[in-house]
Amino acid sequence: MQVVGILGGMGPAAGADFVRLFVQSCIERMQVLGLAVSDQHFPEHWLAQVPVPDRTRALEADAAWAQQPLEPMLQALGRLAALGARCVAMPCNTAHAWHSRLQDRFPQLDVLHIAEEMALNLAAHGVPAAALMATDGTYRSGVYEQALARAGVQCHLPTPAERARIMQGIYDGVKAGNMPLAQRCFGEVAQALAQRHGGAPLILGCTEIPLALDGAPQTAGLRLFNPAQVLAQALAQRAYAA
């Protein structure tokens, strides 16, 4: 087993939930590998939850602003490397706009890419097209559109009004601790996207979205894909592969 790291804090509730998903994925790995499930059969893992300036705001501003989230991410990544981590996951979709700069700075680390992992997973499920719910920053960076295109999966995008409603659910909802508001915002957009695209699966491409939407009545009958879950499975696979 190898030591793995989680670069969180973006937001902290999503980071906490990602550890839960990772622990669950480790249990699944143990079962696949025929290991007894016990505390001692988990790989060593470290979660860094550090304050990082807002990612979407940085992507919408000028180049100087766009550096701001990078510095604390690089610092935390360096400390995860010093702790012995060989592979790191970031439970924040928007942060992947800086993925290549993080990976370039730490070539000794395997920095997983949430959109690449999600795209491979959709292609493996034979999904021809999916609709993306994400932050304005993630749409602007194009990380999902590029990853899905490489995997041969078509990407449907919400209207500007729907994007605004998603942002409201993320910032005034989950990040501000108001879950009922978040559930209403996300539920509305999810229903509209599914209707418009013939029941296409939805990518919950911001780690805050599943925190409010999981198990919500508005999602009955929808096909939801949670990239954080796919990323947690990928991290567990790397941890047990060594």
> Residues in the site for a copy of itself, rule: CB under 8 A?
9-13, 15-17, 19-20, 22-23, 26-27, 31, 36-42, 44-54, 79, 83, 175-177
Distance CA(217)–CA(10), nearest Å, equals: 26
Which segments within the chain are labelled E, that is strand? 4-8, 45-49, 87-89, 110-111, 129-133, 154-156, 202-204, 224-225
User: CB-wise, 9 or 201, nearer to a copy of itself?
Assistant: 9
Q: Cβ of residue 179: shortest distance to a copy of itself, in angstroms?
A: 11
Q: Cβ of residue 9: shortest distance to a copy of itself, in angstroms?
A: 7
User: CB-wise, 23 or 241, nearer to a copy of itself?
Assistant: 23
Distance CA(12)–CA(7), nearest Å, equals: 10
Q: Cβ of residue 52: shortest distance to a copy of itself, in angstroms?
A: 7
Q: Cβ of residue 119: shortest distance to a copy of itself, in angstroms?
A: 26
User: Which among 70, 112, 113, 116 has a CA at the least distance from the CA of 87?
Assistant: 112
Judge whether 140 and 59 are in contact, CB under 8 Å.
yes
Handedness of CA 66, 71, 74, 77 (dihedral sign): negative
Q: Cβ of residue 91: shortest distance to a copy of itself, in angstroms?
A: 12
User: CB-wise, 29 or 165, nearer to a copy of itself?
Assistant: 29
Tell me the H-state helices in 83-150: 99-105, 114-124, 136-141, 143-150
User: CB-wise, 163 or 175, nearer to a copy of itself?
Assistant: 175
Q: Cβ of residue 199: shortest distance to a copy of itself, in angstroms?
A: 32
Distance CA(187)–CA(191), nearest Å, equals: 6
Residue 164 CB burial class (10 angstroms; 0-12, 13-18, ≥19):
middle
User: CB-wise, 56 or 130, nearer to a copy of itself?
Assistant: 56
User: CB-wise, 40 or 161, nearer to a copy of itself?
Assistant: 40
Residue 192: Cβ within 10 Å count: 16
Q: Residue 163: what are its φ and ψ, rounded to 5°? A: -60, -40
